[in-house]
Amino acid sequence: MHPDLAGSRADTRRAVRPVNTAALPRWVIAVAAVGALFVVLPLVAMALRVDWPRFVPLVTSESARAALLLSLRTSLSATALCVLFGVPMALVLARTSFRGQRLVRSLVLLPLVLPPVVGGIALLYTFGRRGLLGSSLSMAGIDIAFSTTAVVLSQTFVALPFLVLSLEGALRSVGTRYEAVGATLGAGRWTVLRRITLPLVLPALVSGAVLSFARALGEFGATLTFAGSLQGTTRTLPLEIYLQRETDPDAAVALSLVLVVVAVVVVGVAHRVRPLGSLDPGRGATPGRALTPDSRAQQPASGRAA
């Protein structure tokens, strides 16, 4: 491109840049910056304390590897359980109405705000050896408490609301119009669910599952209370970090960094998946109103073909 041309184009762009009429008071920006620092600074401080020469040996020690593998295994299992139960729960909450639905929704979402240790105690009195269901299970020879299963249950308990919440929101914003069209085209309920509803909310399902996975991976309180801390069986990465902090702080810092990296990746993925809930149902449905430059270019051609 001719340099002058490029220059004049840049000038034009600068000239038409709109005045920021929503300018904020400077002190708001200052306070926001302090808040952001408060979140970022501890991560930086921790990264500065990492013993880099020993980093690889620290995160690959036997106990660390066992904890990491256990965490991944249990978190993936918990995510699978969240999808298995969370999808039907979100569908029921979004697509039906019944008495007490608001109460049910509040109760289902309770683990979001409940201290995890309270969740752990509640699970203990449900599935523990003398718990509500645990005593019967115990008689059948199934002991859940302080097993890997208990870890998975703890993680599912705290992570389930994340999936239900994001999926229900997506289902509501997608609406039922496509489903109605499917029904008038002769599709049964299962076909509508499988070929219309679920594909439409797939992005929200993926990001909800990723969030659930992240929450499961970080689970500490409920796990410690309900599953204990047995190396290789119930000692997940957060528990390992907590224990190492007393004996080998460098190992704790190194493992913490691993979790930070995982968290960053998860947040990236969850943001990358565009929630279809925000999808404009008009795109393709009513391009007459919202013409993209692309479709506008096609307009004359379609007129001629017609």
Partner 1 sequence: MDFSFEATLPERHFDVAFALAHGQTLAVLGPNGAGKSTLLNLVAGLLAPSAGRATLGDGVLFDVGAGRRVLTEPRRRGVSLLAQEALLFPHLTALENVAFGPRSRGMPRAQAHATATTWLDRVGVAELAQRRPGRLSGGQAQRVAVARALAAEPSLLLLDEPLAALDVTVAPAVRALLRDVLAERTAIVVTHDPLDAFLLADHVLVLDGGRVVEAGPTGDVLTRPVTGFGARLAGLNLVRGRRTPAGFEGSNGLVVPWEGPHLPGDELGLAVRPAAVAVTRAAAGITPNGSRGSAGSWLDDDDDAVSGADGPHPIGASRLTARVDDVEHRGDVVRVHAAGMAADLAPADVVSLGILPGTEVVLVVRPEDVAIYPLPAPGPRDTGPGGAAVGR
Binding stretches for partner 1 (CB under 8 A): 177-178, 180-188, 191, 195-196, 199-200, 202, 279, 281-289, 291, 294-296, 298-299, 302-303, 305-306
State the nearest-atom distance from the C-beta of 234 to partner 1, in Å. 41
Nearer to partner 1, 9 or 296 (CB): 296
State the nearest-atom distance from the C-beta of 184 to partner 1, in Å. 5
Nearer to partner 1, 14 or 289 (CB): 289
Under 8 Å between Cβ of 145 and 134: yes
Tell how far CA 298 is from the center of its chain.
39
Nearer to partner 1, 54 or 283 (CB): 283
Which two tokens mark 297? 């270019």
State the nearest-atom distance from the C-beta of 280 to partner 1, in Å. 10
State the nearest-atom distance from the C-beta of 84 to partner 1, in Å. 23
Nearer to partner 1, 136 or 191 (CB): 191
State the nearest-atom distance from the C-beta of 180 to partner 1, in Å. 5
181, 176, 188: which is closest to 91 by C-alpha?
176
State the nearest-atom distance from the C-beta of 54 to partner 1, in Å. 49
State the nearest-atom distance from the C-beta of 241 to partner 1, in Å. 41
Nearer to partner 1, 21 or 184 (CB): 184
Nearer to partner 1, 120 or 208 (CB): 208
Nearer to partner 1, 70 or 205 (CB): 205
Nearer to partner 1, 57 or 188 (CB): 188
Sequential DSSP letters for 226-274:
HH---TTTT--HHHHHHHHHHH-HHHHHHHHHHHHHHHHHHHHHHHHS-
The sign one gets for the Cα dihedral 55, 57, 63, 67 is positive
State the nearest-atom distance from the C-beta of 102 to partner 1, in Å. 24
Helices (H), the chain: 3-16, 26-48, 55-59, 62-95, 101-108, 116-127, 134-139, 148-174, 177-184, 189-192, 198-217, 221-227, 237-247, 249-272, 293-305
Give the span between the Cα atoms of 171 and 86, in whole angstroms.
13
